[in-house]
Structure 1
Amino acid sequence: MNDDLEPEMDLAEQIFVLLREQPDGCSEYELIQQLKARHSTHIPNLPLLDKLVLFRTHFLVFNALYRLRDQLWGETSHTVHISPLCVQLQPYVPGLSGIVENDPLRDYYLDLTNLRDTDEAEVERLLASFWSRMRGDHQGDRNEIWDPEQKRAALELFELDQEAASLSLHTIKRRYRQLVSIHHPDRGGSTTRLQSINLAMEILQRYYR
């Protein structure tokens, strides 16, 4: 569907429209691409390779998702599963659906000062923390199969579609070289970002070797 989203809708309402069209859900990256394709004016229409653009886009989408979930819980109509790897509209289930007390992620994304006050150094720290968690306890065992969520996160960092028929190790390596060229510190890039790209490549080589 290529119809533009209604500009008078806020971002949460636009996301609700998209999620209703996709009962099986989608990844955060796919959701962002759909918002751009449908000409949403609520997120930056810029490539996600710049770390501040990536953070700002991610924050705005998650802020809207948590606002949408709160609204739908209040209406007892739906709930929203919120994860970078799967965003999905789900039926409201009395007794199971409800705002969880002391939800630090919800508190973080609903506080817009975190969007305003997060600078480049903090974004670097967040990226390093994310990939440290993705590495988990597997880094010492080269023969162990990695979790599929790691594969999806790595492909999303590379902005590659895992369902594409053309996806191969050759394609991944070509994209890896492009990203290294863009983000190498010798060319003004970020060391932490380059480390993230290298780890993503390490993960993907396990699946596409």
Structure 2
Amino acid sequence: MNIDPLKESIETVLLSEQNSLKEFELIQKLQAPPFGVIAEDALRTELKLFQTHFLVFHCLYLLRDEWRNQKLFDIEIDALAIRVLPYSSGQEGLSLEDTLRSYYLNLEHWHETTQVDVESLLNRFWSGLVGEPTTVSAASLEVALSELELTAAPTSLAELKTHYRKMTYTVHPDKGGSTEQMQRVQNAYQTLSTYLRANS
């Protein structure tokens, strides 16, 4: 698989953007002329969505490593905010960031993940966690952070609870939200609670 055209297109887009982009906005630009490196139906099924997301993040982490090695730029990599940052020496990656980097740079995850795997991942997330698992996958963590509109995991359970209360106030059915939104936020809170307990 030749990912160079995608990586080069992402580089062109990022260097021409002054503001941060959401992942969906970046994908839309990559689907449109003059790039056209992502198919129009790339988000049509759960498996295609996962594969597209994975390759975009794979290229982002590759590009960030290249720029850091060349001491050119850095990249903020998050589904809600992707942007070029000034290079700063002595970058010390957080454990969460290192975990995600390792996950996305391993193309075996792209090759081996099937429709059943994606459905299983989503079902486990949306139905809530069963029992008391001690680990959280990088993919589940990404989904939870995105659902709670966070760019990084909170540093403590207390901080998470404070943010969770604010989110539930916003998405509660009585406040203009929906039962589905409320359930997703609750499940995301459970995922991050498990992650923080396992890494405390």
Structure 1 length as normaliser, TM-score?
0.58
Displacement of 1:198 in angstroms is 7.1
1:66 and 2:61 matched: yes
CA contact (8 A) 1:65 1:82 kept: yes
Q: CA deviation at 1:57?
A: 0.6
Contact 1:70 1:99 in 2 (8 A): no
* Partner SS state of residue 45, structure 1: coil
Aligned equivalent of 1:150: none
Q: 1:145 Cα deviation (Å)?
A: 2.7
Gaps of 5+ in 1: 1-7, 147-168, 170-196, 204-209
* Aligned match of 1:25: 20
- Structure 1 residue 113: Cα displacement: 0.8
- Give the letter for the 1:38 counterpart: P
Correspondent of 2:108 among 105, 113, 131? 113
Moved more, 128-137 or 99-108: 128-137
- Alignment of 1:199 with 2:186, yes or no, is no
Q: Which moved more, 1:60-69 or 1:48-57?
A: 48-57
Return the letter of the residue paired with 2:53.
H
Find the counterpart in structure 1 of residue 117 from structure 2.
122
Aligned-pair CA distance for 1:49: 3.0
Pairing 1:1-209 to 2, within 5 Å after superposition: 10-40=5-35, 42-95=37-90, 97=91, 103-128=98-123, 129=125, 130=140, 134=147, 144-145=169-170, 199-200=180-181
Cα distance per residue 1:44-87 (max 9 Å; x no partner): 33151311110111011000000000000001010000000000
Is the 2:42–2:52 Cα contact (8 Å) retained in structure 1? no
- 1:43 is displaced (CA, Å) by 2.9
Secondary structure, in 3 states, of the residue corresponding to 1:16?
helix
Q: Note the C-alpha offset of 1:120.
A: 1.2
Counterparts of 2:74 and 2:12, CA distance in 1 = 14
Q: What secondary structure, in the 3-state scheme, does the structure 2 residue paired with 1:90 have? A: strand
Question: Structure 2: which 5+ residue stretches go unaligned?
Answer: 126-139, 149-159, 185-200
- Distance change in 2, residues 1:24/1:36 (3 Å): same
Q: Find the aligned partners of 1:62 and 1:16 in 2 and give their Cα distance.
A: 12
Paired with 2:115 and 2:179, the residues of 1 have a C-alpha distance of 20
Q: Verify the 8 A CA contact 1:77 1:92 in the aligned structure 2.
A: yes
- Structure 2 letter corresponding to 1:112: L
Q: What RMSD in Å do the two structures reach over aligned CA positions? A: 3.7
Q: Which moved more, 1:28-37 or 1:12-21?
A: 12-21
The total of aligned residue pairs comes to 148
With over 3 angstroms needed to count, the CA separation of the structure-2 counterparts of 1:72 and 1:144, relative to structure 1, is same
SS of the equivalent of 1:30 reads helix
Q: Which amino acid aligns with 1:111?
A: N
